[in-house]
Every structure is written in structure tokens, then in C-alpha cells.
Amino acid sequence: MSIMSVFVDESGDFGPYDHHAPYYLVTLIFHNQSVDIADGIQRLDASVRDFNTQGHAIHTGPLIRREGDYINRKINERRQIFNRLFNFARTTDFTYKTLVVEKKQLADSMDLHAKLSKQLSQFLFEHIDDFSRQSQIIVYYDNGQVELTKILVSVFNVIFNGVEFRKILPSDYKLAQVADLICTLELLALKSESKLLSKSEIAFFETPKHLKKSYIRAIQKKRL
């Protein structure tokens, strides 16, 4: 049996446009369960053990901005945690797609719902032959946003039969944390192009050029 895992994460919300958060992004990671990634997970766990991250999901946005669980961590520590998750992502066999909506162009939240549904449908139809070869598709999402959950269930069920949806804790799945990582990097790519990177983001990656060359270009090789 060939089972396709789809891990989902988002950046942004369904609220009104805010110039501090002009985009809504959804990242979907596609991983064939026949590809064993257990060794990579063990190496990642071992590499971050000294940072006491066991049982916690690595959230890259707060990690970069020194927020929440990372408020007392020095920048070198935060970079090490980020880089170890990034190296796991870079060397693990999966592909991904990030949907992007610029909220400034939206009339309301229903317009965001419609645009996301359309983008997701178009993408899945473009790859319908590949996905239809799978004996099963399982979508993993933490149901953090009810609106996005409804879109995922609606669109996947229209196109495919027998899709299974699982509500998860990101701390239990490394690929859910990778989806968060990629969502963050794709958002940083957009902000860098528009010269909207914050001081904390520039400080974390040292220069926009280093961010693009060492992280964004490397991860985008996995784009579908």
C-alpha cells in the first residue's frame, strides 16, 4: 500500500488586512509513508537534546523573534535549534506546496476562503494523477484555524475518495514542525522581496542575502 501523508501549517489569520501581516500562507508537505525517516528523526532529537526541547514543538517564528518559550535563549542557541530542524528538513525526502494570498486584495474573510479553496483545488487537480495512485491520503493538521480545516476537508473530499483527516499535536510529528518551518521561510521570502523584514529577522539571519542563499533557495528545491 502507498500512503501519502499531507502535513499542513498556516501563517496568518482570517481577520482583516493588517500591514504588519499582509499575507496568508498555507504550506502542505507531501510525504510517502513508504520512505522511512525514523533515522533522521532520531538524529534530530539527539541534536537538540541539550536544548531541552523534548516534548515540545519547535516553532520557528517565535524562535526567530525570541518570543514565548525562547525569550530567555541567546541568539546562538536559537540559531542552532533552527539550523538543526532546517538540516532535517533539507535532507528528508518530501515535497511541498505553499499557497499564498495577499490580504490587501481581499474584500473580506469569505474572499480569502474562496481564493484559498481555488488555489488548493487547482494545485490538486494539476497533480491528480500522482495523488490518485496513492492507496490512501491522510491529512494531518492541528485544527488551529477552523476556517482552514473546513477548506481542507471540503476540497480534498471533492477531488479524492476516502481521505482521512487527523487532528494532531505538532510536538508529536516532526514533519508538522517542518511545515511550520517552511511556512516561515516562504513568508520571509515574500517579506525580503518587499523589503519588509523586521530588525529581529535580519539580526537572526545576519543579512537578507544569507537568508536567501543559505535557507530559502535550499528549501525551495523541494517545491512541487
Residue 1 in this model has a pLDDT that exceeds 80: no
Instruction: Decide if 165 contacts 139 (C-beta within 8 A).
Output: yes
pTM of the model: 0.95
Q: If phi over 0 gives left and psi between -120 and 50 gives alpha, with beta otherwise, what is residue 12? A: left
Strands 95-102 and 136-141: unpaired
pLDDT of residue 173: 97
> What class has domain 3-220?
alpha beta
Full DSSP string of 52-83: T-TTS---HHHHHHT-GGGTTS-HHHHHHHHH
Rounded Cα–Cα distance for residues 68 and 110 (Å)? 31
Longest alpha-carbon distance in the chain: 48
Rounded to 5 degrees, what angle do the CA atoms 79, 62, 175 make? 75
C-alpha cell at 73: 535563549
Rounded Cα–Cα distance for residues 63 and 155 (Å)? 32
In angstroms, how far is CA 81 from the centroid of its own chain? Answer: 17
pLDDT of residue 107: 83
pLDDT of residue 171: 94
Q: What is the mean pLDDT of residues 92-117?
A: 94
Mean pLDDT score across all residues of the chain: 95
pLDDT of residue 20: 83
The per-residue pLDDT for range 179-214, each reduced to its tens digit, is 999 999 999 999 999 999 999 999 999 999 999 999
Domain parsing of the chain, residue ranges: 3-220
